[in-house]
Amino acid sequence: MDKKKKRLYMRTAILAILAGLVVYTLYTNLTRESRGNLEAGDQAPDFVLTDLDGEQHRLSDYEGKGVFLNFWGTWCEPCKKEMPYMEKLAKEYEGQVEVLAVNVGESNFQVKNFAEQYGLTFPIAIDKGKEVQETYGINPLPTTFMILPDGTIDQIVTAGLTEEQIRALFESVKPSS
């Protein structure tokens, strides 16, 4: 091969490798903060939790139905506000959209007390080891993941919700049959 051409190829190759390394470094550094955070469209990570009645709930068992996955705490005011709407709509959409409320790790007494006070009948689980919260990257409460029947995340809502908003969310994930 022409020596000059060979040199050009060589230089191009070396520069390409260096550029690749630089771009990769910048990319990994820029995305470090958000790495691992879930987004709409992602597969909802599977988990298993035991509810207050001792029943196990595995997310993948809900395939075919929409899931309203709500992370909450007893001290959180907006959580308290949206719970009655969740209760009402959970009954209305029974069999289509399931509500699964995950407490972020308080005592059984507090959660039970709360559930009784608000007359909640949907399954409530306590994430004692905070593993599920960590997997889902929960920061502010309440955070709600709307999960489609195929197990992908449709929406992530980090705010207290009104009845109409919850209804709209339920509609968006209910199975289409």
Q: Which is nearer to another protein, 93 or 142 (CB)?
A: 142
Enumerate residues 19-58 that contact another protein by CB under 8 A.
21-22, 24-26, 28-30, 32, 35, 45-50, 58
| Residue 11 binding another protein, by CB under 8 A | yes
- For tokens 């719970």, what's the residue? 83
Distances (CA, A) of 140 to 76, 113, 114: 10, 23, 20
Q: Which is nearer to another protein, 29 or 177 (CB)?
A: 29
The only residue of 134, 150, 163, 171 in contact with another protein, by rule CB under 8 A: 134
3-state SS record for 75-108: CCHHHHHHHHHHHHHHHHCCCCEEEEEEECCCCH
Name residue 107's beta-bridge partners: none
The only residue of 41, 129, 137, 140 in contact with another protein, by rule CB under 8 A: 129
Q: Residue 159: which residues within 8 A CB-CB, separation 6 or more?
A: 78, 142
Enumerate residues 140-169 that contact another protein by CB under 8 A.
none
Q: Residue 60: which residues within 8 A CB-CB, separation 6 or more?
A: 46, 151
Size of site (CB under 8 A) for another protein: 47
- What is the Cα 23 distance to its own chain's centre? 30
How many Å apart are CA 163 and CA 161, to the nearest integer? 7
Distances (CA, A) of 131 to 128, 138, 176: 8, 10, 32
The only residue of 110, 155, 165, 174 in contact with another protein, by rule CB under 8 A: 110
| Residue 88 binding another protein, by CB under 8 A | no
The only residue of 89, 90, 100, 104 in contact with another protein, by rule CB under 8 A: 104
| Residue 135 binding another protein, by CB under 8 A | yes
Residues that bind another protein (CB under 8 A): 3-4, 7-8, 11-12, 14-15, 18, 21-22, 24-26, 28-30, 32, 35, 45-50, 58, 73-75, 77, 104-110, 112-113, 125, 127, 129-132, 134-135
